[in-house]
Structure 1
């Protein structure tokens, strides 16, 4: 009987290790890195490209990288986790909430009004990873966990100022927690990859979206939006992970270089990075004459108070789904965020 080749193993091998030359010191390793954002986004230009260059320089050229952003064959947001688990790519950057349900512990950082600060959320995630979150990353070498700044509610044709204005609006959602928030506020959450939001807004399939400022510019959304409610009610988290087998195949030197440019020092950069990425998109909206609505402290308190039952219900649903310490993780996230805010 003729044995069929193991295609998955072959893909993993070719994706993880490309050898040129002979052996030993002449061996070159090419690693595939995928993410789902446009090549003009700061994740690509300020984070992933410089990171790969630093690692290549550190290894004196032993390790090189091929990057696959949005629009490439490996740039699908819904496939980042499965691609890196299978070894189709060696390293992936993706959203914890897409597809939903794969990272229920980590995604508790998306809970409403937990924080609107990328630095605080990223610090909390990385601090809690070893004790509370690590079981969600079996088979993966976690290089960084991070989050974006507080998201806004962006709409095309309807100005939103109050909770009542949310009623019936079809709003694109990035994660289960945000979906629950939108539903509780009377909106109709629509699960869409970021790359499909522009056309959906243009065609009137959705009325708006929740995003921080930076993807509004990266995906050209200011062309199809007119109103921006500075809600700051949620954040969304991301993973930057490596297939553990790909990591284990590297030399001690290459592993040390990857470790050097990953972890706490990398995570600490996302707060400042996100502030830089948000600013141009907001200015673009101002220059276009859009209306940016800011909530007073009293108005924000009303939104938060309204969402308290939803938050309790969501935590219970996560526990019912098998995360028996969801309440403990949520409290630990609150504590770490307060710890970060006290130091900054």
Structure 2
């Protein structure tokens, strides 16, 4: 009897001496389409994952799948998150086409040329105008790049006449319509295929901001650059809503604190840094850079206005009831944030 009591006491003492059960470890899969050398990976995605681990005291580990990996295809980012193949993804809203028609309004030429202003405008538009496009997704950030540049291999472009017949890689429907209106032949393709396509003469040029010139080594296959800041392109950073809802409250709080307003506000400075690296690469090679003249810019604006009207009208067929209202709101916020 005494022995049984002693053993019970020892067992009880051992149980009370055990530490409280640790929180279960959580692994989240995050994919994006850019190479690991790009600033999106080095300055944004990787530090974001590390900050989430630190905020959760090591409870959350993020596995990152960049471009070039099995989950890094540019056309698959949204569907991978919705299907639960990955938990979080960063992708281009224009590839594949037609999935984010409301968001694509930010891509309309001459609307905005500053990444910070464009990103804040998108985030301001999201709750009232863009949210229906992201069903099933927890939107962590929307953003855009600095004004795009027309990069060409053999033909120097300074006017719309110089674009006539050139095959130019395009990132989104709005930019495709812009190029077509200016006389070029838009060719849709993922960013990762541009180098080889330029090298083999499949395309004559591409539209990008400066940053991919460095990260995709395009300075090696380009000679001319027309810097006009005529358009931008938008991106999403999203999480599977069901996965988010299933996480402990503290983890959700950490994700929220690292996303939204605080994250969107950083893209302006980030993109200036990334663009500078691309511009430096072009200058180091000795490529020719031309600024779009004020006179030519005015011509482009006049030429592209009918295209802008057609583009907005075309969105109605894609289920956007109020494209002009969204465009007007975007113009208002661009003006507001620019000042």
State TM-score, norm by structure 2.
0.93
Secondary structure at 2:86 match in 1? coil
Report the count of equivalent residues: 320
- CA distance in 1 between counterparts of 2:237 and 2:92 reads 9
Residue number in structure 2 paired with 1:88:
85
**1:126 alignment partner, one of 116, 123, 128:** 123
**1:136 alignment partner, one of 114, 123, 133:** 133
Secondary structure at 2:169 match in 1? strand
Q: How does 1:6-85 map to 2 (within 5 A)?
A: 25-85=22-82
Secondary structure at 2:321 match in 1? coil
1:321 aligns with 2:306: no
Cα 1:137–1:328 shift into 2, 3 Å: same
- CA distance in 1 between counterparts of 2:214 and 2:133 reads 32
**2:203 alignment partner, one of 201, 206, 213:** 206
- Are 2:148 and 2:231, in contact at CA under 8 Å, matched by a contact in 1? yes
Deviations 1:281-318 (A, max 9, x none): 11111111100011222221111111011101111111
Deviations 1:18-75 (A, max 9, x none): xxxxx96341000000000000000000001011111110000111100000110000
**2:170 alignment partner, one of 162, 165, 173:** 173
- Are 2:213 and 2:281, in contact at CA under 8 Å, matched by a contact in 1? no
Q: How does 1:243-262 map to 2 (within 5 A)?
A: 243-262=240-259
**1:112 alignment partner, one of 106, 109, 119:** 109
- CA distance in 2 between counterparts of 1:24 and 1:225 reads 59
Residue number in structure 1 paired with 2:269:
272
Deviation of 1:257 after TM superposition, in Å, equals 0.2
Deviation of 1:124 after TM superposition, in Å, equals 0.5
- Are 2:166 and 2:185, in contact at CA under 8 Å, matched by a contact in 1? yes
Residue number in structure 2 paired with 1:309:
306
1:298 aligns with 2:334: no
1:190 aligns with 2:187: yes
**2:219 alignment partner, one of 202, 218, 222:** 222
- Are 2:114 and 2:147, in contact at CA under 8 Å, matched by a contact in 1? yes
Secondary structure at 2:112 match in 1? coil
Larger Rg: 2
Deviation of 1:249 after TM superposition, in Å, equals 1.2
- Are 2:98 and 2:318, in contact at CA under 8 Å, matched by a contact in 1? no
- CA distance in 1 between counterparts of 2:36 and 2:153 reads 25
Q: How does 1:145-184 map to 2 (within 5 A)?
A: 145-184=142-181
Secondary structure at 1:25 match in 2? coil
Secondary structure at 1:309 match in 2? helix
The runs of 4+ residues in structure 1 deviating greater than 6 Å are none
Deviations 1:128-184 (A, max 9, x none): 100000010010000000000000000000000111111100000000000000111
- Are 2:168 and 2:187, in contact at CA under 8 Å, matched by a contact in 1? yes
